[in-house]
Amino acid sequence: MNLLDQLKRHTIVVADTGDFQAMDAYKPQDATTNPSLILGAVQKDAYRPILTRVVGEHRAASMDEIIDRLLIAFGKEILDIVPGRVSTEVDARLSFDTAGTVARARKLIAMYEAEGIERDRVLIKIASTWEGIRAAEILERDKIRCNMTLLFSLVQAAACAEAGARLISPFVGRIYDWYKKSAGANWDEAANAGVNDPGVRSVSAIYRYYKHFGHDTEVMGASFRSTGQILALSGCDLLTISPALLEQLRTTEGEVKRQLDVKDARSADIARVKTDEPSFRFALNDDAMATEKLAEGIRAFAADAIKLEGLIDAAR
């Protein structure tokens, strides 16, 4: 069997793309999008008509509404392909605005429901800032399910679980990038591969923490740089994977062993993380990697949202 089919025995596979035409060959359960992926998709000839149609139908609407309608247009197409859920992201510029995030998420869900899509098939992606986590806490009480993104540390994960978030997306590849860049010439790729990869170690620790303390929040590893990182997290609840890496898995034969196990996590000796606001902010600040990658991610997604606005203005 190929690696992709074997991986599906241990883990739910999710497609990480706005290119919904590329999904069908891999039969993912769910799909995730973000501003960068949607920006990339609408610049392709195959998807430019979606942008043109949405702008044409809502030319007089506000920029925020046009962007939301564009996100939902892609979300609907994706949900015609995957049997599960699609993740749609709130504007990254609201990452430190709890009320603004809640309002935008409710609007997105209302728009999906107006299109006949049940809210259980949508995950609202929110940055894992303190303010974003508080927004998720409010939204989950209204049965609006949240996917907490830009997550790089155990304290973020613990706070998301205690807030009742449905799912988290810890970023494997971006953690790897930071440690590799920090080590410079001293980086040893072989010594930091597989289960020793710093991004893999981070997600593994979060998985064990959740299973040890009985948290229901799902763990979905994200942002992969290689199939080696993916296979080292076999057994994680979900893994969201780009089409390029899905293709590598689909066209490679080999054996996939489960790496993460609930029984092992439950028997481990793990200390509970403090998640009150002062403890959260200090722990996040004390983690240079998590602090830098969170800020960098918010900036990048915000910049791509601005580029998307430029495309919309040009199409008006």
Q: What is the distance, to the nearest Å, from the Cα of residue 166 to the centroid of all Cα atoms in its chain?
A: 12
Taking a C-beta distance cutoff of 8 angstroms, is the pair 105, 125 a contact? no
Counting Cα atoms < 13 Å in the Cβ hemisphere of 185 gives: 0
Q: How far apart are CA 307 and CA 312, in angstroms?
A: 9
Q: How far apart are CA 213 and CA 192, in angstroms?
A: 28
Contacts 24+ apart (CB under 8 A), 12-15: 12/84, 12/237, 12/238, 12/239, 13/238, 13/239, 13/241, 13/246, 14/220, 14/238, 14/239, 14/240, 14/241, 15/82, 15/240, 15/241, 15/243, 15/246
Q: How far apart are CA 142 and CA 89, in angstroms?
A: 18
Whether residue 125 lies in the annotated active site: yes
Counting Cα atoms < 13 Å in the Cβ hemisphere of 126 gives: 41
Q: Which of 201, 213, 197, 234 is nearest to 160 (CA)?
A: 213
Q: Which of 312, 302, 313 is nearest to 36 (CA)?
A: 302
Question: Per the residue annotation, which of 125, 143, 257, 274 is the catalytic one?
Answer: 125
Residue 184 region by backbone torsions, left for phi larger than 0, else alpha for psi between -120 and 50, else beta: left
Residues assigned a catalytic role: 125
